[in-house]
């Protein structure tokens, strides 16, 4: 019998080239004064931003801009929530990469709360958030995290006592996801590659997750086909609009899938390593993806050669190698080889090159969570993965 499952609500999705032009009219549904969250400098200084501000002015929309450089911290959220308490905003709009969208999501959720955001973080705080918020519109400018479709915002403290924890509630799914692939056209190749690998990992981990279901499987496979068609192309030529569209779609789908099926050990590493070192999330995922899957497959084969996850790996082999009529083992091995080659082609750094200290590896092997990996890995296997990419 099929496993029981639930499926979270989705944002109202607007997808397509030029759709960002809808933003003023979408804002007007909520009112005319917005908190506009953007990144350090890239978007707000662009000609596209100037034209958007002109439209805001024509439509009578006023805004206050807060900039979030890097992954949002407790301090970023607590400091900017003061603005929300001092001034009435009709909605929050986040235009940027995953960090900006997470920041906007957290600010919209914390608008009515008195406490620090840390009180509500999973595994760190002790309070349960009631799910109240002001409306939030997510406008991604990279193709990666899929945060425009998820119910959590990741808040980070990086360093020796660091953490990466989620502020999470079903109500925190953005009200609107405005996904315009044209906004990603100026994203540089290194960020395109790292965010693309984050998206690829999320789709694969959700597809292989022990919590996957027929809805998430169907979506994840479509997202993975889009990654196959688009990832190489978009890294080699950022002006390839069709490939940009493919990756924007894949990223949106990856957010929907991870919100409903969960993730695996690669995202376990993203939490443990990412809390200690300032390495971009997509780089951690990308550099550890091939090795993590190699060890996962080995352990699946050792434990149960008929495991359904191996059949899923074989289907990924069919998609990524354009091969049919091969046996399961050939397809799985071929897919693992594809991942290894991709890691090299995208020049993803070794952990040592990214600044990870060898003396920390043992501790990471102990604390990294396998999440919903298709098979649980022990600290010995997790250590092997880290050593393969050190
Ligand atoms: Fe991710």
Look at residue 5 in the predicted model and tell me its pLDDT: 92
3-state SS assignment for residue 116 = coil
Residue 176 lies in a domain: yes
Shared domain check, 146 and 264: no
Task: Please tell me the distance between residue 145's alpha carbon and the centre of ligand 1 in angstroms.
Answer: 5
Give the residue from 164, 184, 204 where a domain finishes.
184
Long-range CB contact pairs, 376-380, < 8 A, 24+? 377/265, 377/295, 377/296, 377/299
Decide if 309 is inside a domain. yes
Residue spans of beta strands (DSSP E) within 135-193:
136-140, 152-157, 163-168, 176-179
Q: In the predicted model, what is the mean pLDDT of residues 220-225?
A: 98
pLDDT at position 324 is: 84
Q: Is the pLDDT of residue 178 over 80?
A: yes
Among residues 120, 154, 184, the one where a domain terminates is 184
Same domain flag for 170 and 225: no
Between the CA of 60 and the centroid of ligand 1 the distance, in Å, is 37
How buried is residue 366: exposed, middle or buried, by Cβ count under 10 Å (0-12/13-18/19+)?
exposed
Question: By three-state DSSP, how is residue 28 classified?
Answer: helix
* C-alpha of residue 101 to centroid of ligand 1, in Å: 13
pLDDT, residue 91, reads: 97
Mark whether 234 and 349 lie in a shared domain.
yes
Distance in Å, CA 259 to ligand 1 centroid: 11
Q: How far, in Å, from the CA of 86 to the mean position of ligand 1? A: 34
Residue 226 sits in the same domain as residue 105: no
Name the band, by pLDDT with cuts 50, 70 and 90, for residue 190. Answer: very high
Banded model confidence at residue 64, pLDDT cuts 50, 70, 90: very high
Q: Give mean pLDDT, residues 118-137.
A: 97
> By CB neighbour count within 10 A (0-12 exposed, 13-18 middle, 19+ buried), where does 337 fall?
middle
Report the distance separating Cα 159 and Cα 279, nearest Å: 11
Angle between helices 241-261 and 214-236 in degrees, nearest 10? 150
Q: Compute the distance from residue 100 Cα to the ligand 1 centre, in Å.
A: 14
Give 44's pLDDT tier (boundaries 50, 70, 90): confident
For residue 134, pLDDT beyond 80: yes
For residues 371-382, average pLDDT: 97
CATH code, domain carrying 280? 1.20.1090.10
Separation CA 213–CA 341 (nearest Å): 30
Q: At what angle do helices 308-321 and 214-236 cross, to 10 degrees?
A: 30
Which residues lie below 8 Å from residue 67, measured CB to CB, with a gap of 6+? 37, 38, 39, 40, 41, 44
For residue 320, the CA-to-ligand 1 centroid distance in Å is 21
CATH of the domain at 42: 3.40.50.1970
pLDDT in the model for residue 390: 97
pLDDT tens digits, 158-170: 988 899 999 999 9
User: 264 and 150, same structural domain?
Assistant: no
- Mean pLDDT is lowest, of 83-87, 152-156, 336-340, for 83-87
| Residue-wise pLDDT tens digits, 84-115 | 889 999 999 999 999 999 999 999 999 999 99
Of 184, 208, 225, which residue is a domain's last? 184
Distance CA 211, CA 209 (A): 5
Ligand 1 centroid – CA 364 distance (Å):
18
Number of domains in the chain: 2
Domain-embedded: residue 4:
no
Instruction: Examine the pLDDT at 41 and tell me if it is beyond 80.
Output: no
Q: How confident is the model at residue 315, as a pLDDT?
A: 97
Give the phi and the psi of residue 209 in degrees, each rounded to 5: -60, 145
How would you classify residue 191: left for phi > 0, otherwise alpha for psi between -120 and 50, otherwise beta?
alpha
Compute, in angstroms, the gap from residue 255 CA to the centroid of ligand 1.
9
CA of 201 to the centre of ligand 1 (A): 7
Is 80 exceeded by the pLDDT of residue 306? no
Mean pLDDT of 342-359: 95
Q: What is the mean pLDDT of the chain?
A: 95
What pLDDT was estimated at residue 96?
95
Ordered alpha helix ranges (H), the chain: 23-28, 47-58, 74-86, 98-110, 189-208, 214-236, 241-261, 265-276, 281-303, 308-321, 328-345, 361-367, 379-388
pLDDT of residue 143: 95
Q: How high is the pLDDT of residue 304?
A: 80
The C-alpha atoms of residue 315 and residue 70 are separated, in whole angstroms, by 36
Q: Kindly report the pTM of this predicted structure.
A: 0.96
The alpha carbon torsion through 134, 81, 124, 39 (nearest 10 deg) reads 90
Half-sphere exposure of residue 126: CA atoms within 13 angstroms, side-chain side: 0
Kindly state the average pLDDT of the residues 11-31.
97
Query: What range does the domain containing 71 cover?
Result: 12-184
CA of 63 to the centre of ligand 1 (A): 30
Question: How far does the centroid of ligand 1 lie from the alpha carbon of residue 111, in Å?
Answer: 26
Bridge-based pairing state of the strands 136-140 and 91-96:
parallel
Q: Collapse the DSSP code of 339 into the 3-class scheme (helix H, G, I; strand E, B; otherwise coil) and give the result.
A: helix
Give distance in angstroms: CA of 88 to centre of ligand 1: 33
Percent of the chain predicted with pLDDT > 70: 100
pLDDT tens sequence across 258-269: 999 999 999 999
For residue 110, the CA-to-ligand 1 centroid distance in Å is: 23
At residue 32 the predicted structure's pLDDT band, cuts being 50, 70 and 90, is: very high
């Amino acid at each position: 019998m099929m496993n029981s499952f639930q499926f979270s609500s989705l944002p109202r999705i607007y997808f397509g080239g030029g759709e960002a032009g809808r933003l003023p009219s979408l804002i007007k549904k909520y009112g005319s004064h917005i908190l506009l969250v953007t990144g350090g400098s890239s978007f707000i200084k662009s000609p596209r931003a100037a034209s958007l501000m002109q439209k805001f002015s024509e439509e009578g929309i006023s805004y206050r801009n807060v900039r979030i450089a890097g992954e949002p911290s407790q301090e970023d959220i607590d400091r900017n929530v003061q603005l929300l308490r001092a001034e009435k905003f009709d909605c929050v709009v986040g235009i940027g990469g995953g960090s900006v969208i997470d920041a906007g999501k957290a600010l919209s959720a914390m608008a009515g709360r008195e406490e620090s955001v840390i009180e509500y973080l999973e595994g760190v705080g002790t309070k349960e958030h009631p799910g109240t918020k002001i409306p939030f519109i997510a406008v991604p400018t990279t193709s990666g995290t899929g945060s425009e479709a998820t119910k959590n915002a990741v808040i980070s403290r990086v360093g020796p006592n660091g953490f990466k924890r989620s502020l999470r509630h079903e109500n925190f799914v953005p009200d609107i996801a405005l996904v315009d692939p044209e906004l990603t056209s100026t994203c540089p190749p290194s960020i395109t590659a790292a965010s693309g690998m984050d998206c690829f990992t999320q789709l694969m981990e959700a597809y292989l997750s022990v919590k996957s279901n027929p809805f998430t499987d169907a979506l994840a496979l479509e997202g993975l086909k889009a990654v196959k068609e688009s990832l190489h192309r978009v890294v080699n030529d950022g002006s390839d609009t069709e490939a940009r569209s493919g990756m924007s779609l894949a990223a949106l789908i990856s957010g929907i899938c991870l919100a409903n099926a969960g993730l695996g050990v690669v995202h376990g590493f993203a939490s443990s390593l990412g809390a200690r070192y300032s390495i971009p999330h997509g780089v951690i995922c990308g550099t550890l993806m091939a090795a993590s899957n190699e060890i996962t497959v080995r352990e699946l084969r050792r434990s149960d050669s008929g495991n359904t996850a191996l059949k899923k790996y074989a289907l990924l082999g069919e998609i990524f190698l354009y091969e049919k009529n091969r046996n399961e083992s050939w397809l799985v091995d071929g897919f693992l080889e594809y991942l290894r080659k991709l890691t090299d082609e995208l020049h993803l750094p070794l952990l040592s090159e990214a600044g990870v200290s060898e003396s920390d590896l043992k501790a990471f092997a102990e604390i990294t969570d396998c999440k919903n990996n298709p098979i649980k890995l022990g600290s010995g296997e997790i250590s092997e993965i880290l050593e393969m990419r050190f």
